Structure 1
């Protein structure tokens, strides 16, 4: 059983005190609704970029990625570089529209383009995913690690304690506290992950030839055959962009950093900074997990690879830093999801019913909502232990739920001809089909990979929306509904952002070719 030295406990305690200090520093005054939800629209590019990266780096990265790499190889890193490409797309085309419209939530875009039904439908779905997947998954991942180092802990109470800690400072400080603690947490986890990856590589005498000789060639390949059970190449091509677009553009808990930007330039540059950082997980998290396949053959669950690496190879002091970094990542996702979920509930459901609410009243409602959602996530988190793996739990759920929503967003964003009725019926029909396909996968009717399912559902929903719009009973979109198309509502993108995106595309291409 792994154990920690006194120095490790000191480092963890220092980290916790620093986080509390940062929270107190940025929350000296009681925030109103605009400050609580959007940091008064004052965030700069580095805060946005680091916070975007930190909010995602939790369970799907530090726990899920090494575990998946240990089990199936480095193809799981395709999620990371594809996310970078999606972020570039967001920086160039979507973020300028968001900032120009001065929206508070992403579903608000669909209301302006279509009608209130689409706003509430996207908001309700996002709330469900945020609590059941993002928040609960992060709590479960954190509890799993703590239980490995502190055997006396139980799953449910540990999840509850972590939720309480993140919920308190999120409730007190809002998005500004979340974003600024994310900056700290990103620096800690990147430093810790870099050091651990160097130590793990040292187990192979810092020789890449030793790594390749002890691992199967396919284990070190990003692009896999069409019948690959982990991630087929076609799934990378048509499925991952759909999942990534929802996560990085439509998911409120991620997009909220963009909405809190001081201007379109800050939002675009922040997205590019996050895109650049998404090239690092292959080296810092995925490759160490893949190397662990040659080091550990006795693991019962892939989700324990990262804490096992810490326990086996990190010396005193570094183990504490790594554990602090891991907890930083977990807390970053929990605080992000709690803040964004309360934003969705207040802005998309409460405010339309109570338009006369003051900013202070909305802030009060938001704090209560954050605490309630915190409790719900803490109650659900232990149930994830019954699923076959954290990464599969998260990605498969997103694959079946999000593609119809992405299809409606894409149609509304790019075309002026789609009306509200056609979009809404298309999304509902798409989700009916996804429910049938999901049931079929559980009953053994098909074994189609979930990334292929994501691409299929996206294209089917596009066709359904088009057919509904072409039906005789379909109404044409009004002038108000077409007013949010990108052509009418985006300021010119700064040349620096275009140049940065081009450089990152070339770097991503070089990365993929190198590990093809």
Structure 2
């Protein structure tokens, strides 16, 4: 039943996506990378949500909650403020510029050198960090949910090319390659609209499935006496795990919400190519803003399926000594009936493929527009650009499949992802913010700010003996990231004051879509921010 329900939903989603998008134009760069700039707000919201909600979130964030409790909901709830900022400030400027990638905006604002450096940073980060983590966390999650060791019969070491391979390692490599090949086919033969449509279908399934896990999990806590009783038991048994205020011992102490945690959220939702490329395909500014704010409303529900299950798993399985990243898959396998386990695993595959494909599509856009069109073949046609992008997709996907299994052994894949993301999140976000707000800062200031930011964070992470010294000053890494961000801002502003641009930069309109803002933007934003504050207040306990 598990396998049948898994295959049934997977085939249903693929076939429905084919029917909806089979006549869409995908030969031009706009068609392949931006869905022909025709995306409406439900599709944008569904795609944004599912691009974000892959297994590094479902497995990783629930694993963090298993360890630290409700405090890790900061990654979901604080994201709502970032989405409000995206809708009100960043999106109108990006859409007005008519761009396909963030580096394109930086070339428009600064120069080609800044664009090329940013392009290379994104490509390296996506190819050797983001995509492998998506594949690795997806393989770990599916292995736990479907109990692949018993399902495949690989319970003993096997001989592969003369080497003895342990069962867990064999299953990890096999699952990584299965997911990678499936995702590559979707990305290779479909454009952004195909991916966004598949995201929306799977997004509905993911929300239903995510709530089911919480429902069945709370029922298990209460021995079948209802979710209200389960929630009561959870609060009484684990009060320290249900405090929204992070303590110094958690991965997100409360003070960090105002420094590094906020900055990483702002970059992720406002300038991260993998995410915001969906919004660049909006049919109008109003549709884009509605899609972004609808995503914010849906993110308010995130703790129910991204944090609460981890706390339930702690209550049920902490005594068994399972690892953080095994908690979610174990909970799914233990509390769901077989037929629903297969359905949810299929939804999870959709979530994995969504993030994987989003990263591949964004990576191919960065490569073809930023490198192929600029450096390799400046006179190439639209069709040649898209063809080069598709070839690059296959190449980077194969490389990521070999890198992904090497990530095994991390204590928390979510914490590892946030640490590594900071290396490039902070410098790029600082440069984009200054570029939009200060028209006199010159191109060299932006270029060297990128270099300075990469060096400052890289030295702290990778030079032996530096991390303890920095941590002794800032206490938390997130505070150090806030310091780096402030340093880069001051660096560029001082440069702009001493040696400003000859003429102030002005953003020119270069888009075919309607740029009339959504009339409900202001009130929807106020309501979302008020709800964020209410959620935090209702679970806050500063004395714990």
Give yes or no for TM over 0.5: yes
Structural mapping, 1:322-361, within 5 Å:
322-353=344-375, 354-361=377-384
Partner of 1:124: 120
3-state secondary structure, aligned to 1:346: helix
Structure 1 portions without partners, runs of 5+: 1-6
Cα distance between partner residues in 2 of 1:441 and 1:321: 48
Q: Does 1:496 align with 2:517?
A: no
Q: Does 1:267 align with 2:294?
A: no
Q: Tell me which of 449, 464, 483 is aligned to 2:476.
A: 449
Cα distance between partner residues in 2 of 1:503 and 1:454: 30
Partner of 1:31: 26
Structure 2 vs 1, CA of residues 313 and 229 (structure 1 numbering), >3 Å: closer, same or farther? Answer: closer
Structure 2 vs 1, CA of residues 477 and 182 (structure 1 numbering), >3 Å: closer, same or farther? Answer: farther
Which digits, 9 at most, give the CA deviation of each residue in 1:37-77, with x for residues without a partner? 11111000000011000001013321111111011111111
Which digits, 9 at most, give the CA deviation of each residue in 1:316-352, with x for residues without a partner? 2111122112212111100111111000100111112
Q: 1:23 offset after TM fit, Å?
A: 4.1
Q: 1:20 offset after TM fit, Å?
A: 2.5
Q: Does 1:63 align with 2:59?
A: yes
Q: Does 1:276 align with 2:297?
A: yes
Q: 1:224 offset after TM fit, Å?
A: 2.0
Q: Is contact 2:13-2:198 (8 Å) kept?
A: yes
TM-score when normalising by structure 2: 0.88
Q: Is contact 1:204-1:210 (8 Å) kept?
A: yes
Partner of 2:49: 53
Cα distance between partner residues in 2 of 1:129 and 1:196: 32
Which digits, 9 at most, give the CA deviation of each residue in 1:217-257, with x for residues without a partner? 332112124x3341111211111221112211211111110
Q: 1:292 offset after TM fit, Å?
A: 1.6
Partner of 2:400: 377
Structure 2 portions without partners, runs of 5+: 155-169
TM-score when normalising by structure 1: 0.93
Cα distance between partner residues in 1 of 2:353 and 2:466: 32
Q: Tell me which of 133, 142, 166 is aligned to 1:146.
A: 142
Partner of 1:182: 199
Q: Is contact 1:113-1:484 (8 Å) kept?
A: no
Cα distance between partner residues in 1 of 2:128 and 2:71: 26
Displaced runs of 4 or more, over 6 A: none
Q: Tell me which of 13, 26, 29 is aligned to 2:7.
A: 13
Q: Does 1:173 align with 2:190?
A: yes
Q: Tell me which of 73, 80, 85 is aligned to 2:76.
A: 80
Structure 2 vs 1, CA of residues 490 and 396 (structure 1 numbering), >3 Å: closer, same or farther? Answer: farther
Structural mapping, 1:353-502, within 5 Å:
353=375, 354-439=377-462, 444-447=468-471, 448-471=475-498, 474-476=499-501, 478-479=503-504, 481-483=505-507, 491=515, 493-502=517-526
3-state secondary structure, aligned to 2:307: helix
Which digits, 9 at most, give the CA deviation of each residue in 1:379-413, with x for residues without a partner? 11111113222101101111233212111111111
Q: Is contact 1:425-1:468 (8 Å) kept?
A: no
Supply the RMSD in Å over aligned alpha carbons: 2.0
Q: Is contact 2:284-2:514 (8 Å) kept?
A: no
Cα distance between partner residues in 2 of 1:449 and 1:418: 31
Q: 1:491 offset after TM fit, Å?
A: 4.8
Cα distance between partner residues in 1 of 2:389 and 2:531: 41
Partner of 1:4: none
Structure 2 vs 1, CA of residues 146 and 229 (structure 1 numbering), >3 Å: closer, same or farther? Answer: closer
Which digits, 9 at most, give the CA deviation of each residue in 1:24-49, with x for residues without a partner? 32134662122111111100000001
Q: Is contact 2:206-2:351 (8 Å) kept?
A: yes
Partner of 2:100: 104
Q: 1:373 offset after TM fit, Å?
A: 1.1
Q: Is contact 1:27-1:172 (8 Å) kept?
A: no
Cα distance between partner residues in 2 of 1:477 and 1:193: 54
Cα distance between partner residues in 1 of 2:295 and 2:44: 8
Q: Is contact 1:235-1:451 (8 Å) kept?
A: yes
Deviates more, 1:264-273 or 1:122-131: 122-131
Deviates more, 1:373-382 or 1:350-359: 350-359
Cα distance between partner residues in 1 of 2:371 and 2:132: 22
3-state secondary structure, aligned to 1:203: helix
Number of aligned pairs?
502
